[in-house]
Amino acid sequence: MASTIADCTDLFRKKLLGKTGKISEKTLEMHLGLYAIQVRRAKELLSSIEKDEPPSEDQIGGSPFRARKLDLSYCLSAAKSHELYFHVLGGAGGSPQGTLREWIDRDFGSLDRFLRDLRATALASDSWAWTCLDQASGRLINLLGDPRGAVPFWGSSPLLAVDMEDHAFLLDFGWDRAAYVDSLLGQLDWESVGRLLPLL
Ligand SMILES: [Fe+2]
């Protein structure tokens, strides 16, 4: 079976070089490299799993099959969160416009309240924070992904991702995680976030 997992490293590099503010080019390149490894590993795992017959019930417990499935879930989840993170970086921050702004105001009361909630969610996480649109209720929610590999709940569309693992900030901000989050929020590409909203 052919793998359909795409590596978007070059696309993100072209979009982001020189547009990440205090997040250095060195951190960006290291981070893109990490993402590329996750994509490659996900492809390898998927091919490896698809190559073999699924194990019988008595072969599952503690089997390499379980380990590969767990690893695949982690690598795919990490790759997709990184894709979202890179996708919404490289802007000038400021204020979102249009429907996105209307929905932020509707669900959080104000842009300031939304940003404070997102900032606190990120600082409370050792892994990821996401803004998601819950398709069932239609509202925006800021979610925390912790421990590593956790994904937003089913039936939601992730619109924005904040990477809170050490590799995202340590080189440029030391342990000042708040300075990193503030810098990141100032480099958001709100147009790209808005384009992820479902068509109305
Ligand atoms: Fe990362």
State pLDDT tens for residues 27-36. 999 999 999 9
- The DSSP result for 73-87, as a single string, is HHHHHHHHHHHHHHH
C-alpha of residue 89 to centroid of ligand 1, in Å: 13
pLDDT exceeds cutoff 60 at 9: yes
What are the residues whose beta carbon lies below 5 Å from ligand 1 (ion)? 163, 168
Q: What is the pLDDT of residue 57?
A: 87
In whole angstroms, give the CA distance from residue 49 to residue 76.
14
In whole angstroms, give the CA distance from residue 166 to residue 174.
9
Q: What is the largest CA-CA distance in the chain?
A: 57
Convert the pLDDT of each residue in 122-166 to its tens digit. 999 999 999 999 999 999 999 998 766 566 678 889 999 999 999
Other Cβ atoms closer than 10 A to 36: 17
C-alpha of residue 116 to centroid of ligand 1, in Å: 22
Convert the pLDDT of each residue in 59-71 to its tens digit. 887 778 889 998 9
C-alpha of residue 109 to centroid of ligand 1, in Å: 30
C-alpha of residue 94 to centroid of ligand 1, in Å: 24
What pTM value is reported for the model? 0.93
Mean pLDDT of 80-107: 95
Rg (CA), the chain: 18
Asked whether 47 and 184 are in contact (CB, 8 A), the reply is no
C-alpha of residue 186 to centroid of ligand 1, in Å: 18
Other Cβ atoms closer than 10 A to 27: 19
Mean pLDDT of 84-102: 95
Compute the half-sphere exposure of residue 139: CA atoms within 13 Å on the CB side of its CA: 10
pLDDT exceeds cutoff 60 at 200: no
C-alpha of residue 163 to centroid of ligand 1, in Å: 5
Q: Which of 75, 67, 103 is nearest to 193 (CA)?
A: 103
C-alpha of residue 140 to centroid of ligand 1, in Å: 23
Q: How confident is the model at residue 198 (pLDDT cuts 50, 70, 90)?
A: confident
Give me 138's structure tokens.
């239609």
C-alpha of residue 168 to centroid of ligand 1, in Å: 5
Other Cβ atoms closer than 10 A to 67: 11
- Helix boundaries (H) for the chain: 9-16, 25-51, 64-87, 98-108, 111-123, 170-173, 177-185, 190-195
C-alpha of residue 119 to centroid of ligand 1, in Å: 17
Q: What is the pLDDT of residue 154?
A: 82
